Structure 1
Amino acid sequence: MKLTVTGTGYLGATHAACMAALGHDVLGVDTDPGTVDLLNTGHAPFREPGLDDLLVQGLATGRLRFTTDPGAAARHGRVHFITVGTPQRDGGTALDTGAVDAAVDVLAEHIAAAVPAGGPSHLLIGRSTVPVGTAGRLRSRLRDRYGDLLQVSWCPEFLREGHAVADSFRPDRIVLGVETPGSDAADRIAAQVREICADALGAGVPLIVTDFPTAELVKVAANAFLATKISFINAVGDVCEAAGADVTVLAAALGMDPRIGAAGLGAGLGYGGGCLPKDVRGFAARAGDLGVDRLADLLGTVDAVNTGRRDRIVGMAETALDGAPAGRRVTVLGAAFKPGSDDVRESPALAVAAALDRRGARVTVCDPVATGPVRRVHPGLRCEPVPEEALRGAELVVVATDWPEFTTLDPVAAAALVAGAVVIDGRNCLPAAAWRAAGWDYRAPGVGVNPASTA
């Protein structure tokens, strides 16, 4: 099928490449010439395992190409994915849908100009994360302007950074929002989506067809629930620390309860990245708009607990440095918000490094892939991609991203490199007993003064 993808950021570039790999003829559209030029060379402007290979493959077969011309998208096919970003509004917490509105309006104008009177309708499939009510608003506006020329549906994405390619091919579920479920128009839209997603559906991935509001809420509700689990275990971690308990053992025991599950119960620095923080805040803002104040308050607390983890680790670092971080050499292992990514947006690791730098510490940041983004965001921070070099001469080590390059470090060899064998395991990811046995003063959030149960 001929498909277009408007917006070639993290979501759009991945979606376009994966659709081409499945045999579709895909044209990606973006307003940034630099991004388009880079993608047309087979390189993404961000790190995502396996994506560059898919770009090269798609370009070589001719099933994938990128352009800045929205008119080319209008002429290319009749199914158009909208994958532009929805950041937080400046000075607020609500999601900004300005880029979505602009992308839809520009594409619609070109489609209207390209399709003769009485010609076939085109389908817009929104994938961007939007406040509930957006799809209905866009559908009404397009109907007023163009009649039934443009159909609208909403199919939220559920990609995890570092796993986006696999998640594109085999998502946990596909949720499709349509204006009137069960209508002939909805059935036609669902049939097109089934054709596009035939490979995943054939492998048993479920398709849920629902109304616009439900589809829009699924993504933000899922992220809010995950964020709540993360903030919950971190709040419980504070109790564990005060009581002399071990949050890592407690979390493992909780995760064995099938009603709870282990995913998201990793205590430590909390969540970051381009999705969870802004989605939680955006959902809270929209809940407040709709008068659902208790949910807005709950999500506000979830966000506050999460951001407070950064201050907690900075406080632990200051204590480890006798309350005087100025001039002290600190190595922060990690800058990306999670392993497998070079994304430093809302990164707890980078927030800790920057906070210690502001307090006068001589900070070295080590990350296997994110040194470039760090230099762009915080040019004053010293970066070193090799852990052994970053550790040399450090008086304090903070593990802030659980890259395997850090979790598998030899604590004996590491102790020989540092000036002070003090480590704050901000992700509770190190084998604590082995580090203590190697002579390290091991500290971790959520682990009390009695470490006997820590493995």
Structure 2
Amino acid sequence: MPLKITVIGTGYLGATHAAAMAELGFEVLGLDIVPEKIEMLGRGEVPLYEPGLEELLRKHVAGLPGSSGRLRFTTSWEEAGAFGDVHFVCVNTPQKHGEYACDMSYVDSAFESLAPHLTRPTLVVGKSTVPVGSAARLAKRLAELAPAGEEAELAWNPEFLREGFAVQDTLHPDRLVVGVASERAESLLREVYATPLAEGSPWVVMDYPTAELVKTAANSFLATKISFINAMAEICEAADGDVVKLAEAIGHDERIGKKFLRAGVGFGGGCLPKDLRAFMARAGELGADQALTFLREIDSINMRRRGHMVELAREAVGGGFLGKRVAVLGATFKPDSDDVRDSPALNVAGQIHLQGGQVTVYDPKGMENARRVFPTLGYAPTALDAARGADVVLHLTEWREFRELDPATLGEVSTHRRILDGRNALDPELWRKAGWTYRALGRPRA
């Protein structure tokens, strides 16, 4: 009999995983405690923007015309427990309010709610990003609460999704990491991931704590690389160097590589900042805080970039924002997403607004979410409308739409042709030829 799969939590990670599992041929039941979310997914709609996800969902949600019918959704823990052979836990682990530590309440609640309904041998697979040591604790709790006892096993299978590429990353992962305590658990996960394994995705088996550490270690390394090149941008500005050329030169060294070496306003989103801080907090709890003290500086460099962009904008408009119009191109933390969590673009826009600037924001996909977070900012339906009457334009999210803007057309509607490229993604020559004063982080003024 083919395995049946449940996915607990149908947010960004869970909805993507559920749709991908159906695409791989499994019967899937997604569970969430929010009825409105379940109703929406049942109509084949997603409450977020992720390229290709809605199409994949509609291809499999039961009851939709032409669908495979392999994917259903429920709010019933009893139904989920009875249905699944493998249960993936994909709930959120946000940062605690006022602390660096990770909030485990959603994960703990999911295990407490699911376990009493596990009456036969089953595998529960954690995909949420958790502090190291959580899996061992949860495995023990699972065995205590489940009627199946120790036959209700736990595995840890961290996710490595990139927003904007989540469907691709789930169906064709660049590696599959599994933390297991038995051969049976590994065998079941091999069955789940048979298709990507056949395609050649690397399979890395390890213990619980190492599997938990992989995700936070990977995110910390990426954050370090981003903050390193941003620190080099600070040096380049002081020495009149060009960080783009610097990055190109060191990127040719295969030990370093070219990826994540674009200097700018830094990283944001729902993962990197909070995972970095939770990792530091957990290291402190383990008595190994000195090992990660460098991450405090990584975080500090990242946050400093936002303040620096505000300073450059203030300088560009003559030393003060009062009575000045500022156009902000971008609200999401990265392109091909509608995610504005800890977005550098929105943070900069908000700081300028608080300092008296008249800020107008445009983003191809993140407008609705941005309005919820910063309702007092101005919003425009197009990039052209955002730039109308602007004293300075800030490019803060590297959407393709912004790279393809015509500087001459934008110049016709703005009051002053001044642009600050916070992502080093625009062509300086093109903008300067159209009469713009172009400035970017870590690059010479002209």
Q: If the length of structure 2 is used for normalisation, what is the TM-score?
A: 0.96
Residue of structure 2 equivalent to 1:182: none
Match of 1:42 among 44, 47, 58: 44
Deviation at 1:385, TM superposition (A): 3.3
| Aligned-CA RMSD value | 1.0
Match of 1:86 among 86, 93, 108: 93
Residue of structure 1 equivalent to 2:15: 13
Residue of structure 2 equivalent to 1:95: 102
Q: Distance in 1 between matches of 2:323 and 2:172?
A: 50
What is the identity, as a one-letter code, of the residue corresponding to 1:364? T
What is the identity, as a one-letter code, of the residue corresponding to 2:90? T
Q: Distance in 1 between matches of 2:35 and 2:353?
A: 36
- 5+ residue gaps, structure 2, are 62-66
What is the identity, as a one-letter code, of the residue corresponding to 2:326? V
What is the identity, as a one-letter code, of the residue corresponding to 1:122? T
* Count of residue correspondences: 437
Contact 2:9/2:89, CA 8 A, preserved across alignment = yes
Partner secondary structure for residue 306 of structure 1 = helix
Deviation at 1:145, TM superposition (A): 4.0
Q: Distance in 1 between matches of 2:426 and 2:409?
A: 15
After superposition, the C-alpha distances for 1:302-341 in whole angstroms (9 at most, x for unaligned) are 1111011100100111111111101211100000000000
Contact 2:219/2:272, CA 8 A, preserved across alignment = yes
Q: Distance in 2 between matches of 1:188 and 1:384?
A: 55
Contact 1:285/1:296, CA 8 A, preserved across alignment = no
Residue of structure 1 equivalent to 2:306: 310
Q: Distance in 2 between matches of 1:354 and 1:251?
A: 30
What is the identity, as a one-letter code, of the residue corresponding to 1:64? L
What is the identity, as a one-letter code, of the residue corresponding to 2:215? K
Q: Distance in 2 between matches of 1:415 and 1:144?
A: 67
Match of 2:332 among 332, 336, 356: 336
Q: Distance in 1 between matches of 2:286 and 2:381?
A: 47
Residue of structure 2 equivalent to 1:286: 282
2:235 is the counterpart of 1:239: yes
More displaced 10-residue stretch of structure 1: 59-68 or 417-426: 59-68
Contact 1:369/1:385, CA 8 A, preserved across alignment = no
Contact 2:116/2:145, CA 8 A, preserved across alignment = no
Residue of structure 2 equivalent to 1:183: none
Contact 1:153/1:177, CA 8 A, preserved across alignment = yes
What is the identity, as a one-letter code, of the residue corresponding to 1:31? I
Q: Distance in 1 between matches of 2:379 and 2:261?
A: 30
What is the identity, as a one-letter code, of the residue corresponding to 1:139? A
Partner secondary structure for residue 150 of structure 2 = coil
Q: If the length of structure 1 is used for normalisation, what is the TM-score?
A: 0.94
More displaced 10-residue stretch of structure 1: 201-210 or 295-304: 295-304
Residue of structure 2 equivalent to 1:166: 168
- 5+ residue gaps, structure 1, are 180-185
Q: Distance in 1 between matches of 2:411 and 2:39?
A: 46
More displaced 10-residue stretch of structure 1: 146-155 or 427-436: 146-155
Contact 1:399/1:427, CA 8 A, preserved across alignment = yes
Deviation at 1:290, TM superposition (A): 1.5
Q: Distance in 1 between matches of 2:288 and 2:53?
A: 40
Partner secondary structure for residue 105 of structure 1 = helix
Q: Distance in 2 between matches of 1:254 and 1:25?
A: 48
The aligned runs of 1:59-78 (5 Å cut-off) are 59=61, 60-78=67-85
After superposition, the C-alpha distances for 1:316-367 in whole angstroms (9 at most, x for unaligned) are 1111111110121110000000000000000000001111111111110010
Residue of structure 2 equivalent to 1:382: 378
Q: Distance in 2 between matches of 1:177 and 1:149?
A: 17
Residue of structure 2 equivalent to 1:355: 351
Q: Distance in 2 between matches of 1:364 and 1:269?
A: 18
More displaced 10-residue stretch of structure 1: 294-303 or 258-267: 294-303
Contact 2:135/2:208, CA 8 A, preserved across alignment = yes
What is the identity, as a one-letter code, of the residue corresponding to 2:344? P
Residue of structure 1 equivalent to 2:417: 421
Deviation at 1:62, TM superposition (A): 1.4
2:225 is the counterpart of 1:223: no
Q: Distance in 1 between matches of 2:47 and 2:158?
A: 23
Q: Distance in 2 between matches of 1:434 and 1:53?
A: 37
Deviation at 1:296, TM superposition (A): 2.7
Partner secondary structure for residue 443 of structure 1 = strand
After superposition, the C-alpha distances for 1:251-279 in whole angstroms (9 at most, x for unaligned) are 11111110001111110111010110111
Partner secondary structure for residue 29 of structure 2 = strand
What is the identity, as a one-letter code, of the residue corresponding to 2:371? R
Q: Distance in 1 between matches of 2:381 and 2:114?
A: 42
What is the identity, as a one-letter code, of the residue corresponding to 2:98? G
2:276 is the counterpart of 1:269: no
Residue of structure 1 equivalent to 2:156: 154
Partner secondary structure for residue 208 of structure 1 = strand
Instruction: Tell me: CA distance 1:47–1:372, structure 2 relative to 1, closer, same or farther (3 Å).
Output: same
Deviation at 1:150, TM superposition (A): 1.1
Q: Distance in 1 between matches of 2:143 and 2:44?
A: 38
Deviation at 1:422, TM superposition (A): 0.6
